[in-house]
Amino acid sequence: MTEGATGTGAAPVSGTVHWIGAGLSTGSGLAALCDVADRVRLWHRTEERAAGALAARGLTGRAEPRAYTLPALAAELAPGDVVVSMLPAPEHAPLLATAIGRRAHFACSSYVSDAVLDQVPEAEATGLTVLTEAGLDPGIDHLFAQGLIARAERAVGGSTAATYTLTSYCGGIPAVPNDFKYRFSWAPAGVLGALRAPARYIEDGAETTAARPWQATRPHVIDGETFEAYPNRDSVPFVAQYALPAAWKPRTFVRGTLRLDGWLTAWAPVFAELERGDDERIAALARQLAATYPTTEADRDRVVLAVSLDVTAGAGERWSGRYLLDAVGTTEESAMARCVSRPLALGVRHILDGSLPPGLSRAAQTAERSQEWLAELAADGVEFSFRESR
């Protein structure tokens, strides 16, 4: 990496990457960065655990292990470095503040929070890139959606009055179905917390809110296989983020979660506890679930991401398209780790080569850049398919 390789207005890039955390989502993306960065440091709870994580991934000698604390990281950060956070979302804001203070760029795979967003103007003013939503979901789902919208605009016309349905469902599930119909790919407490958050989406042309998202679960068929899908978070702001044509009106717009058929029944006792709303009991349930359904080296995960767009214009003119990613983990790497770390590493590569602008980027942002990223991800071994019809 050549120091100073930057885009217009961007701060110099040093070529050093600090990857913070080595949990379940840290996969071959870390190795990919070792191939292109001048120097990679892996920060974990202790130096020994960082060294062990590198050894497990065959990266001993290719990255430097470090014991993570925020002051320890700050002491080693230099202007133009890139900080990659694999920590829980609440820790991103203080980490970003430290990065900005040391004139370092920042990247993560999580949704952008208000606490992160508040710091973007300062980062942009100093030529720093803040890359967020650059994992699987959010991340690859954005690339798929932007790619579909661009194709539909070419086919139907962005100024043509039309209605559309856009659905984006993603799920981490067991490759071999179990009685629980689930495999934890992140902390059970986080899974339960997400289920307690209301979901806002568009259905039948109107904004709708599900106070308990699982109660909006419905069948979703993909290539003949029936899944269960439910909305999560707030889908509505993504209508603007995806820059859908103003002449198109949404019939349905929902981003949500995909589960195995039978999940709703298998999780009935969990939902009953969530409905009681006792925080202590829910915390105890999360610990119980972690003990009862541990993630082991023997089982294999599966990731399914299906993003579909159907546009109907006047005189019955219609265009439909779908991207599908369906990946299964291997003995070397889980599907979740591959699908989160690979796009994040790709985004970091584009910080290193200066092609991402200063300020906030949510994944690739534009349709043109999304197509470029998808081609690069395919070359990196992230497989997916595209289908369209008229």
User: What pLDDT does 2 receive?
Assistant: 35
Per-residue pLDDT of the chain (390 residues; tens, 9 = 90+): 433 344 447 788 999 999 999 887 788 999 999 999 999 999 999 999 999 999 999 999 999 999 999 999 999 999 999 999 999 889 999 999 999 999 999 999 999 999 999 999 999 999 999 999 999 999 999 999 999 999 999 999 999 999 999 999 999 999 999 999 998 877 899 899 999 999 999 999 999 999 999 999 999 999 999 999 999 999 999 999 999 999 999 999 999 999 999 999 999 999 999 999 999 999 999 999 999 988 777 789 999 999 999 999 987 789 999 999 999 999 889 999 999 999 999 999 999 999 999 999 999 888 899 999 999 999 998 999 999 998
User: What pLDDT does 297 receive?
Assistant: 74
User: What pLDDT does 26 receive?
Assistant: 86
Closest by CA position to 192, among listed 302, 126, 304, 279: 279
- 299 assigned to active site: no
| Helix ranges (DSSP H) in the chain | 28-36, 47-56, 70-76, 92-101, 114-117, 120-125, 140-156, 188-196, 237-241, 263-266, 268-276, 279-292, 335-352, 367-379
Catalytic residue, candidates 81, 137, 141, 301: 137
Q: Is 357 helix (H, G, I), strand (E, B) or coil?
A: coil
Alpha carbon 370 to its chain centroid, in Å, reads: 14
Joined together, the tokens standing for residue 37 give 């960065």
Measured CA to CA, the distance from residue 210 to residue 230 in angstroms comes to 10
